[in-house]
Copies of this chain bind each other. A is one copy, B any other.
């Protein structure tokens, strides 16, 4: 029975009374998670925001967040927020940073752990239009409630870096995508123009794109090939990089 509990609670040693007394002496703090939910639409990087429900921040934009429940893992809480707002599960989600500045919340001390999530806009049917839940172009947001603008800036920089090291961009696209769409994602996120031929060569040389044998349809120009990303091969080939560069 003890063994059973151990595996349930995820630690190799069970509950301990002395430890509990110690932990009970610690100050306790309200925790939240905030999700920076990115998507890609109309060749622009968008983020899902809501109007703050605090009078103080009336009409100001806010990230999607919620309290962390009493016995809830932060990853679980972030997934719960995502599910509640988008109805989607199994979405790319990664912890970014924990913000704890005293005074960051007008209701007193609140520590928040921020997650970034990337999802495919087309897969997503917004559940409810409560509190004006809407997509906003990331680079057109000026002020937000709480410290959320600073958090968004942090998450955006995080994304710019991550997208160059990991195939995150694919999470923003449908399963089948054209090279143009892929390049548009990179250009939008990195806020730069890339050479089309070099971009295509780069991805071709990686050998991680699978030709789906389908083409774009209903486009007003020569249709491009659609590809899928070879996640299996990517997982196998993750390299152990050594290259000092700063």
Q: Chain B residues near A95: list those with CB within 8 A.
A: 97-98
Find out whether the CB atom of B164 lies under 8 angstroms from the CB atom of A243: yes
Q: At the interface, yes or no: A179 with Cβ under 8 Å from chain B?
A: no
Listed stretches A22-30, A37-45, A121-129, A219-227; interface member:
A22-30
Given A97-B95, A105-B19, A243-B164, A30 contacting B32 (CB threshold 8 A): no
Q: Chain B residues near A214: list those with CB within 8 A.
A: none
Name the CB-closest residue of B to A114. Answer: B98
Q: At the interface, yes or no: A155 with Cβ under 8 Å from chain B?
A: no
Q: Mark A31-67, 1 if CB is under 8 A from B, else 0.
A: 1100000000000000000000011110000000001
Find out whether the CB atom of B11 lies under 8 angstroms from the CB atom of A105: yes
Q: Mark A170-211, 1 if CB is under 8 A from B, else 0.
A: 000000000000000010001010000000001000100000
Q: Chain B residues near A98: list those with CB within 8 A.
A: 74, 95, 98, 113
What is the interface size of chain A, counting residues whose CB is below 8 A from a CB of the partner?
73
Distance in Å from the Cβ of A64 to the closest Cβ of chain B? 16
| Copies, count | 2
Q: Chain B residues near A70: list those with CB within 8 A.
A: 27, 29, 109
Q: What is the bound-complex CA distance between A124 and B21, given in angstroms?
A: 34
Q: At the interface, yes or no: A167 with Cβ under 8 Å from chain B?
A: yes
Residue in contact with A15 in the complex, picked from B9, B108, B206, B242, CB distance below 8 Å: B108
Find out whether the CB atom of B146 lies under 8 angstroms from the CB atom of A11: yes
Find out whether the CB atom of A57 lies under 8 angstroms from the CB atom of B107: no
Q: At the interface, yes or no: A13 with Cβ under 8 Å from chain B?
A: yes
Find out whether the CB atom of A54 lies under 8 angstroms from the CB atom of B16: yes
Find out whether the CB atom of B245 lies under 8 angstroms from the CB atom of A165: yes
Find out whether the CB atom of A67 lies under 8 angstroms from the CB atom of B27: yes
Q: Chain B residues near A97: list those with CB within 8 A.
A: 95
Q: What is the bound-complex CA distance between A246 and B166, given in angstroms?
A: 6
Residue in contact with A23 in the complex, picked from B100, B101, B107, B242, CB distance below 8 Å: B107
Q: Chain B residues near A167: list those with CB within 8 A.
A: 246
Find out whether the CB atom of A23 lies under 8 angstroms from the CB atom of B110: yes
Interface residues of A (CB under 8 A from B): 8-11, 13-16, 18-32, 54-57, 67-75, 95, 97-98, 100-111, 113, 146-147, 163-167, 186, 190, 192, 202, 206, 234, 238-239, 241-246
